[in-house]
Amino acid sequence: MKNQTTAQAKRTKFRQRLSQPGLIVAPGVFEMISARLADRMGFDTLYMTGYGTVASYLGIPDAGLATYTDMVNRAGAIAQGTETPLIADGDTGYGGLLNVAQTVSGYEAAGVTGIQLEDQEFPKKCGHTPGRRVIAMKDMVKKIQVACEARDSSDFLIVARTDARTTLGLDEALRRAEAYCNAGADILFVESPETPEEMAKIAQTFDVPVLINVVEGGRTPLFSKQALEEMGFKMAIYPGTGFLAMGKALESVYGALKEEGSSLSVTDQLYNFESFSKLMGFEAVWDFDRKHADD
């Protein structure tokens, strides 16, 4: 009961934040170290990236290979292990309409603040990669309707994503986003616009909050927070920033170990061990041990 009360408080808080001015910046988290680091920094929300979660948990591509069980377990661990509201990638809903209903209920019960659902065919593919195909618009509309019906709280957010821009063009992507909005989606997400003009048109077409996916090295140009606000976006997710930084850092320090047989030359690149232990919650363990130590 306590976990559900806390989860609902996060949802109410983030729903209120959506109605306030200013761009919401959400870092991508993908396991508990990234989640704990981001959680302490005062972000309005965290974003559980499908790409990063599948890569870190299973070591495979984000190509529809992870199951609902894989992802809801990861989402629950992150949501319950952090104080910041969490928006989590729910892919296509992991099947048909019954699967969508189960996915929404499961993510909500796990403590997530909102779920992202996309209109790709199954198996899906990562958004900024080639070969993505979308289902019929009417089928995705039904998925959004079912998702809205399946949630217990109206503060549990439904983020509707369309991948139609890359294969069917911007006009079709905008038509789909409008249909998903009418079906009840709380936040719209048109994936992979390719020019500043496309980005501005997407952000300014709808009355509901619109999200932009910022992928360093992806198909969409990079802009400052101020520029994204001026375009009209309400939320910017940075799904790859964390795991790309982690990969670069690990490559550097592991390379030193391989080359030199020691970490002496890279200690300045490492997180302080005591501080990291506190980040992971060891202070509570130390307090417990002191409390229950033998006389």
In the block, tokens 């983030």 appear at: 14
Cα gap 101→237, rounded to integer Å: 25
Mean pLDDT by 10 residues, the chain (295 residues): 83 96 98 97 97 96 92 97 97 96 98 97 74 92 98 97 95 98 98 96 96 95 98 98 97 97 97 96 93 79
Cα gap 70→57, rounded to integer Å: 8
Please give the pLDDT value at position 70.
96
Q: Which residues contact 110 (CB under 8 A, 6 or more apart)?
A: 72, 75, 76, 79, 80
Among 79, 96, 110, 187, CA closest to 143: 96
Count of Cβ atoms closer than 10 Å to residue 232 Cβ: 18
- Check: CB of residue 191 under 8 Å from CB of residue 161: yes
Q: Which pTM was predicted?
A: 0.94
Residue 69 C-alpha from the chain's centroid: 17
94: tokens are 């992991």
Please give the pLDDT value at position 295.
57
Helix ranges restricted to H, 19-88: 32-39, 50-58, 68-80
Asked if the bond preceding 123 is cis, omega within 30° of 0, the reply is yes
- Check: CB of residue 216 under 8 Å from CB of residue 222: yes
Please give the pLDDT value at position 63.
86
Pairing of strands 46-48, 24-29: parallel
Please give the pLDDT value at position 41.
97
Tell me yes or no: is domain 2-240 CATH 3.20.20.60: yes
Domain ranges of the chain: 2-240, 247-291
